[in-house]
Chain A
Amino acid sequence: MWQFFHKLGSPKWFFGIANRFMPWLLAGGLILLAAGLVWGLAFAPKDYLQGNSYRIIFIHVPSAFLAQSIYIMMASAAVVTLVWRMKLADVFVKSVAPVGLMFTFLALFTGAVWGKPTWGTWWVWDARLTSMLILLFLYGGAIALDRSINDEKSAARAVAVLVLVGVVNIPIIKYSVDWWNTLHQPATFKLTEKPSMAMEMWVPLLLSVLGLYLLFGWLACLRMKTEILVRERRTRWVKELVLAGRK
């Protein structure tokens, strides 16, 4: 068990594993995502309340899922960074943060565009959208801090502290924003909170969520590989790898 744990921390070992999994992640992700989106766009029945605009759900919900779970993953990796000083955890946090930022932006954008036909305005200070916006700020802060510290190790550890503080705050932020929302807008129509969604809507949603997770896994592997190459470019194993012409 411990041997496995230490192996997990080795960038060289990660390179091998990533190379083995990446084609499957990419193929699976693309197929599932394409299937989910085509099904959702063309074949799923129309929603009786919102009409066809609800079809945005098939990208909005997966983006929002990923935006939140990437932050949680970053926080878990941050614990590993601070406690065990594992190189791969640093690399993970650094390479994945921009992806999380992108998904948060996508969730916000699709939410806003969805709001126009549903609520009649582009932006509503709805509890979910506001929490998402704050999550965007948290991602932005982590990336900004990472970029402004030159030393890689200190940057990784500083970002780890920040992400952990953020993850402790997320439930508090969520709770307070919900409370604030009931204070100012007693009754709003909530996105995605549908009492009964037909099976034909659930399945494509599930497919696109799964597909996007796989695609994220591929992206994370690729970006981690890049970051590892940058950090370990002077080591022997990178030299052997590069001179052998393998990627």
Chain B
Amino acid sequence: MNVNAPIALKKVDSSVGVFQAMVSVFLRDVRVAFRQRQDLLNPLLFFTMVVTLFPLGVSPEVAFLKQSGAGILWVAALLSVLLSLDHLFRHDFDDGTLEQLMLQPQPLFLLVLAKTMAHWLLTGLPLVLLTPVLGLMLHLDGNSVATLCLTLLIGTPVLSLIGSIGAALTLGLRSAGVLLSLLIIPLYIPVLIFGTGTVAAAAEGAQVSGYLALMGAFLVLALTLAPFASAAALRISLSNS
């Protein structure tokens, strides 16, 4: 490679603003994902299948489904996000894009944040959109479905953000998938508890704005802290390989 080339590259890049860089990383991830549409569809299929297992495996009785529907949907959504996390950095790691990202003058954690937001848009949001249909199949009433969608809307970005730390830590390891679940599931527990707890409170007719505010606090906390942790983890994983 030409000796002058990296310097020239740096000059061009530093003229690009941080926000602009984030937007371009975000758009790139969305574009790449739409070229591999099967990867987009897989978590949704998985989500639907896991939800189907509960009436088949436990009981199709309306009373049972009404009572545990919110929990089933939350657990299924959590597992689907977990399943899709493996792809968050994997392709970019394999083809070297990640190393290029690390060399950018823009702070890495912001670029990681952009990637995580793209991940949420492509997996978390479709799950939220699919939830009303599955909620009807589990005989949840309108009020519960609305609350459930709201909690998932706040909760799935938290899942993506926390998950990005695990994905970064397990990058390039042999049994990354199982390991990722082991590391991340304990950290998902508070979100799950508050997500399902809010729906249960709504079903009893209680005010849920307080619970939603708490979930919002989780989201803010994850937004501010998780990108730093994932960026640090990415640096460690890349220096390892």
Contact surface of A with B, Cβ cutoff 8 Å: 82, 134, 137-138, 140-141, 144-145, 148-149, 151, 154, 157-158, 161-162, 164-166, 168-169, 172-173, 175-177, 179-180, 183
- Tell me the complex Cα distance, A164–B194, Å: 23
**A179 partner residues in chain B, CB cutoff 8 A:** 193-194, 197
Q: Are A138 and B186 in contact (CB under 8 A)?
A: yes
New contact pairs (14) apart from A137-B185, A161-B233, A165-B187, CB-CB < 8 Å: A134-B189, A137-B186, A144-B179, A148-B173, A157-B236, A158-B240, A161-B232, A162-B169, A164-B229, A172-B218, A176-B190, A176-B194, A179-B194, A180-B193
- Tell me the complex Cα distance, A209–B97, Å: 52
**In this complex, which of B165, B174, B187 has the most chain A Cβ atoms within 10 angstroms of its Cβ?**
B187
**B200 partner residues in chain A, CB cutoff 8 A:** 183
**B183 partner residues in chain A, CB cutoff 8 A:** 141, 144-145, 162
Q: Are B229 and A151 in contact (CB under 8 A)?
A: no
- Tell me the complex Cα distance, A176–B193, Å: 7
Q: List 11 A-B contacts (CB under 8 A).
A: A137-B185, A140-B182, A144-B179, A144-B183, A145-B170, A165-B165, A165-B187, A169-B186, A176-B194, A177-B189, A183-B197
B202-241 contacts to A, CB under 8 A, are: 218, 225, 229, 232-233, 236-237, 239-240
The answer to the question of B36 belonging to the interface, with a C-beta cut-off of 8 Å to chain A, is no
In the assembled complex, the CB of A142 is this many whole angstroms from the nearest CB of chain B, namely: 8
Q: Say yes or no: A154-B239 contact (C-beta < 8 A), given A145-B169, A183-B197.
A: yes
The answer to the question of B175 belonging to the interface, with a C-beta cut-off of 8 Å to chain A, is yes
- Tell me the complex Cα distance, A246–B10, Å: 55
**B189 partner residues in chain A, CB cutoff 8 A:** 134, 173, 176-177
**A161 partner residues in chain B, CB cutoff 8 A:** 165, 169, 229, 232-233, 236
- Tell me the complex Cα distance, A173–B200, Å: 19
Q: Are A165 and B173 in contact (CB under 8 A)?
A: no
In the assembled complex, the CB of A138 is this many whole angstroms from the nearest CB of chain B, namely: 5
- Tell me the complex Cα distance, A161–B229, Å: 7
**A145 partner residues in chain B, CB cutoff 8 A:** 169-170, 179, 183
**B237 partner residues in chain A, CB cutoff 8 A:** 154, 158
Q: Are A180 and B197 in contact (CB under 8 A)?
A: yes
**B225 partner residues in chain A, CB cutoff 8 A:** 168
Contact indicator per residue, chain B 122-164, by CB within 8 Å of chain A (1) or not (0): 0000000000000000000000000000000000000000100
In the assembled complex, the CB of A76 is this many whole angstroms from the nearest CB of chain B, namely: 17
**B229 partner residues in chain A, CB cutoff 8 A:** 161, 164-165
**B179 partner residues in chain A, CB cutoff 8 A:** 144-145, 148
In the assembled complex, the CB of B25 is this many whole angstroms from the nearest CB of chain A, namely: 22
In the assembled complex, the CB of A28 is this many whole angstroms from the nearest CB of chain B, namely: 35
Cβ-closest chain B residue relative to A171: B190
**B165 partner residues in chain A, CB cutoff 8 A:** 161-162, 165
- Tell me the complex Cα distance, A66–B160, Å: 33
Q: Are B182 and A144 in contact (CB under 8 A)?
A: yes
**A157 partner residues in chain B, CB cutoff 8 A:** 236
Cβ-closest chain B residue relative to A156: B236
Q: Are B190 and A169 in contact (CB under 8 A)?
A: yes
**A176 partner residues in chain B, CB cutoff 8 A:** 189-190, 193-194
**B182 partner residues in chain A, CB cutoff 8 A:** 137, 140-141, 144
**B197 partner residues in chain A, CB cutoff 8 A:** 179-180, 183
Cβ-closest chain A residue relative to B201: A183
**A165 partner residues in chain B, CB cutoff 8 A:** 162, 165, 187, 229
Q: Which 3 A-B pairs have the closest CB atoms?
A: A154-B240, A176-B190, A137-B186
- Tell me the complex Cα distance, A154–B169, Å: 10
- Tell me the complex Cα distance, A56–B169, Å: 39
- Tell me the complex Cα distance, A144–B183, Å: 8
Q: Are A166 and B194 in contact (CB under 8 A)?
A: no
- Tell me the complex Cα distance, A151–B240, Å: 7
In the assembled complex, the CB of B210 is this many whole angstroms from the nearest CB of chain A, namely: 11
- Tell me the complex Cα distance, A144–B177, Å: 12
Cβ-closest chain B residue relative to A142: B183
**B186 partner residues in chain A, CB cutoff 8 A:** 134, 137-138, 141, 166, 169, 173
**A169 partner residues in chain B, CB cutoff 8 A:** 186-187, 190
- Tell me the complex Cα distance, A183–B201, Å: 9
In the assembled complex, the CB of B79 is this many whole angstroms from the nearest CB of chain A, namely: 16
Which of B218, B232, B240 meets A149, CB within 8 Å? B240
Cβ-closest chain A residue relative to B171: A158
- Tell me the complex Cα distance, A169–B226, Å: 11
- Tell me the complex Cα distance, A157–B238, Å: 12
